[in-house]
Amino acid sequence: MNYKIIDMKVFGDERGKLVSLEGGMNCPFEIKRVYYIFDTMPDQERGKHAHKELEQIIVAIDGACQFVLDDGKTREEVWLNRPDKGLYIGKNMWREMRHFSYGCKLMILASTHYDEKEYIRDYDVFLNEVNGK
Ligand code: T46
C-alpha cells in the first residue's frame, strides 16, 4: 500500500503549538500546491478517485474524517484526527473520504499543480490500470 502516516514534530510552549512541513525534508516531495477543504458535512463523501502521478500529504488541521485507501488489491481505513499527523498518499492509490466531523478542516500539500487529466475517477478503470497490465 502506497501510503503512510507521518508523525510531525510539534514545537509547543505556553503560547500554543506549531508544526512545520518542508518540501524534501519531512514532506517527501517538493510542494507545488496547497489546498484545503472545509465546511464539510458528516453525511457527504469525497474523493473516490486515484492519481497517476500526484503525491500528497493530508493533515486534519481541525476535526476528523476517515480515509479509505485501496491499491486495487487491499482496502484499509485510516482516521485522520490530529494536526500533528500527516497522511502521505503516493501514486495509484484509490481514496475515499467519509465520516467528516462537522467543520472538519483538511490541509493538503501536493507534489504537482492541479491537472484533471491526471485523475482516475472510474473505479473499474483504476483496477484495470493497477491490476490489468
Ligand atoms: C484528493 C482529495 C484528498 C481545483 O480546481 N483545483 C484543485 O487543486 C483541486 C484539488 C480541486 N479543484 C476543483 C475540481 C473540482 O471542480 O475543485 C472541485 C472539487 O474537487 P474534487 O471533487 O476533486 O474534491 P475531493 O475532495 O473529492 O478531492 C480532493 C482532491 O481533488 C484530490 O486530489 O486527493 O481532495
The tens-digit pLDDT sequence of the chain (133 residues) is: 999 999 999 999 999 999 999 999 999 999 999 999 999 999 999 999 999 999 999 999 999 999 999 999 999 999 999 999 999 999 999 999 999 999 899 999 999 999 999 999 999 999 999 998 5
* pLDDT for position 82: 96
Closest ligand 1 atom to residue 58 Cα is 3
What's the confidence (pLDDT) of residue 2? 95
Cell of 10: 510539534
40 lines ligand 1 (CB under 6 A): no
* Per-residue CA distances from 121 to 15, 16, 95, 105, 112 (Å): 43, 40, 10, 23, 18
Task: Give the pLDDT score at 123.
Answer: 97
The confidence score (pLDDT) of residue 132 equals: 81
Give residue 56's region: left, alpha or beta (phi > 0; psi -120 to 50).
Answer: beta
114 CB near ligand 1 (under 6 Å): yes
CA dihedral 108, 49, 78, 40 (to 10 degrees): 60
Q: Which residue, chain included where needed, has cell 481505513?
A: 77
Quote the pLDDT of residue 133. 58
Distance CA 41, CA 101 (A): 7
